[in-house]
Structure 1
Amino acid sequence: MLIREILPTEKQVFNQVATHPLQSWEWGEFRKTTGVKVERLGFYQDGQLQKSIQVTFHKIPFLNRYIGYFPKGYTPDADQMAALQELAKKYQAIFIKLEPNSLRPLEQSDADNQQIQFLKKYPIEKGRALFTQYSFWLDLQPDEETLLANVTSKTRYNIRLAEKRGVRVYEDSSERGLEDYLAIQEETTKRQGFYAHSADYFRKLYAALKDSGIMHIFKAEYENQILVTWIVFVFNGVLYYPYGASRSIHRDVMASNLMMWEVIRFGKAQGCRGFDMWGALGPNPDEKDPWYGFHRFKKGYGAELIEFLGSFDLVNDDPIYKLYTLGETWRWRWLRFRKKLPF
């Protein structure tokens, strides 16, 4: 198999074999605008592109060293691992984080998983996850009547209530739509106390994806006030829900419930075969977890809990990797502590 760099003229065929929006050409172009380096490699058989990888390299402040990130790629194999090791050497990367877009049976042990046993042939460490290991997947192939019947009775009631109260959901993928999203996201992060990407990050994301057909912005409006706004992706027949924000007012009209239902209908109209809801807690969620409400909200739409392979660090420099992971542990402890401070 021939492995070589992808040419700009191969953008279309590159996207056809890409496994996720974060592996799309447009996402790579967006990441370049944020100051990271992007490498795209293609795997060719008889002159035809069969598989591709897109890896970003992030410079560590004050050091001439990098960390690689390979999110949502195809299932690891020997060709992929050899290519990643060569890229790690090229950039003097401490490690490359892999988060494959590969599923495993729920709660299966690592010892029983052949893909993980394959990875253990390489200098691999279990890494800190950037993507959640679990998500909800909704099959969009049944008809709309069946999809609604599969929704829990409580969720279905909330959808009808929002419709009855006059909540309106519509797409507004304009710059105005983005700015409305950013305004509500700022309110949401302050209220719920979590970190989110900056406004500049989202504006660059919008500039790179707005004409691609991947990124769509939706609003839920009530009495001329925008209550909820979501950013969703459509890519290679799959709908994704990566970003959402909501206001604290008029929560009794259940705007988020209608938003989810209308987005499901949108995905079906786009011909998507499935909906990856981009995150869940797992098979035995703790009801005290701050994300439990969001987990339960997604589950209410009849979605299936799925588990991805996990997060793995392909180590290129073991001594520095150990120092780096120690520093990261303390950094996250500080961030969690700071979040609790009243200022």
Structure 2
Amino acid sequence: MVSKMLELGEQPYTEADAEWDAFVAAHPHGSLLQTTNWARLKNRFGWTSQRVWMRRDNRLVAGAQVLFRSVALGVVKMGYVPHGPLVDWGDAEQVDVLFNQIDQAAYRRGAGMLKIEPRLWQDEMPAATWEALYRRHGCVPSPDTIQPPRTIVIDLRPSEEDILAAMKQKTRYNIRLAEKKGVTVRQGTAADLSAFNWLMQATGRRDSFGIHQPEYYRAAYEIFAPEHAALWLAEYEGRPLAGVMVFTWGESAAYLYGASSDEERQRMPAYAAQWAGIRWAKARGCTSYDLWGIPDAEEAELEAGFTDRQEGLWPVYRFKRGFGGEVRRTVGAADRVYNGLLHRLYTWRRGR
């Protein structure tokens, strides 16, 4: 078994990148967040990145794309493996060898800690099993996650009619109402990113949540589109009212960014834009559509509270639940601690 590491940057896309991305696309727990393009996006906004991998019989069998950044008042240098590492967790030797490579990369970068957030679903690996596993490999529990651990995943394998039928009646009605009320949806281009950013700012003000700077959404579109991303805009009389940016990798699609205006909300443009994103992903051959983030609560609590609660992701859940799909939760995060003091500082800062 051979293991290696590679620093990533803005270098031209290489055969090694293509091989890595094919490995990520085919891996049962692979994710957009482990792709070369995701590293390139994050590298433009304060992160650096490094990839480690292992080969067996000249074939990639495991790996991790690690992001590094200074956090917690700039004092703590942390490593972060979003939706990774990609490894056979049942192969103890493979896990140990890969973690050794990750540790070396973290040491060279001066990281005081490393956070992993594999895209393992709790219905595939119960929480107790996951905890025993990561502790066995030298990690500690972490309630702090960077990606939302709970989400809704829509199965795109049925027909469009069946996908619509699986939605809540009100959502199905709103999708059709948008068309009746004159809302049209078109696929956007780079020229529409200014309008999308304006919609994002309006949404952030209205719903009181943080958004990225305009340059971030532009970079995401430029790096991933047209092969792996599309921008969909819902308009009325030529005015953009809502938009979604959807990403694909392998057979998976993810709705990462969405926004809507304060105007003409009775025309339900957000529902029209989301349905366009779903249809596009299905037409691209994707079998699942990740709505990417809802409150981290059990389904009974979600259903009991979504009509009244307004904090955090609760308004988002009220919208997303209508599109059907299955509520799923990842196993969450675990930390590797290289410097106990710095890890405690990070935990304190995140807690605030």
Q: Same fold (TM over 0.5)?
A: yes
1:325 aligns with 2:347: yes
- Deviations, residues 269-303 of structure 1 (Å, cap 9, x unaligned): 11001111111223222331433232132221221
Residue 241 (structure 1) aligned with residue 252 (structure 2) = no
- SS of match in other structure, 2:205: helix
> Matches of 1:109 and 1:234 in 2, distance apart?
27
The answer to whether 1:187 aligns with 2:205 is no
Select 2:151's aligned residue among 120, 123, 135.
Answer: 135
State TM-score, norm by structure 1. 0.88
- Find 1:17's aligned residue among 14, 23, 28: 23
Please tell me whether residue 41 in structure 1 is matched to residue 59 in structure 2: no
Please tell me whether residue 51 in structure 1 is matched to residue 62 in structure 2.
Answer: yes
Q: Show structure 1 runs of 5+ residues with no match.
A: 331-343
Deviations 1:68-122 (A, max 9, x none): 111012355333323222222222211111111110129x9633xx222110121
In the alignment, is the contact (CA less than 8 A) between 2:139 and 2:334 conserved in 1?
no
Deviation string for 1:193-212 (max 9, x for gaps)? 2111111222333333235x
Q: Residue 258 in 1 paired to residue 272 in 2?
A: yes
Hey, what's the Cα distance between the residues in 2 that align with 1:264 and 1:118?
Answer: 36
Preserved contact between residue 228 and residue 245 of structure 1 (Cα < 8 Å): yes
In 1, Cα distance between equivalents of 2:80 and 2:323: 32
Q: Which residue number in structure 2 is paired with residue 91 of structure 1? A: 109
Q: Measured at CA, do residues 31 and 72 of structure 1 come closer, stay the same or move farther in structure 2, by a change above 3 Å?
A: same
Q: Secondary structure at the match of 2:203?
A: helix
* Structure 2 counterpart SS, 1:104: coil
Structure 2 unaligned residues grouped into runs of 5+: 8-13, 25-29, 90-94
Shift of 1:61: 8.0
> What is the number of equivalent residue pairs in this alignment?
325
Structure 1 residue 23, shift from structure 2 partner: 0.8
Identity within the alignment, % = 26
Distance in 1 (alpha carbons) for counterparts of 2:6 and 2:158: 37
Question: In the aligned structure 2, how far is the partner of 1:318 from the partner of 1:61?
Answer: 14
Mapped to 2, the partners of 1:79 and 1:142 lie a distance apart of: 41
Aligned: 1:278 with 2:300:
no
After TM superposition, give the deviation of residue 261 of structure 1 in Å: 1.7
What's the counterpart of residue 155 of structure 1? 171
**Preserved contact between residue 136 and residue 277 of structure 1 (Cα < 8 Å):** yes
Question: Which deviates further from its counterpart, 138-147 or 124-133?
Answer: 124-133
Do the aligned partners of residues 253 and 329 (structure 1) sit closer, same or farther apart at CA in structure 2, a change above 3 Å counting? same
Matched, 1:144 2:160: yes
TM-score normalised per structure 2: 0.86
Aligned CA RMSD, in angstroms, stands at 2.1
Pair 1:167-2:183 in alignment: yes
SS where residue 344 of structure 2 aligns?
helix
SS of 2:328's partner is strand
Following TM superposition, the consecutive aligned residue runs of length 4 or more in structure 1 with deviations greater than 4 angstroms are: 60-65
Alignment partners' CA distance in 1, 2:165 and 2:159:
10
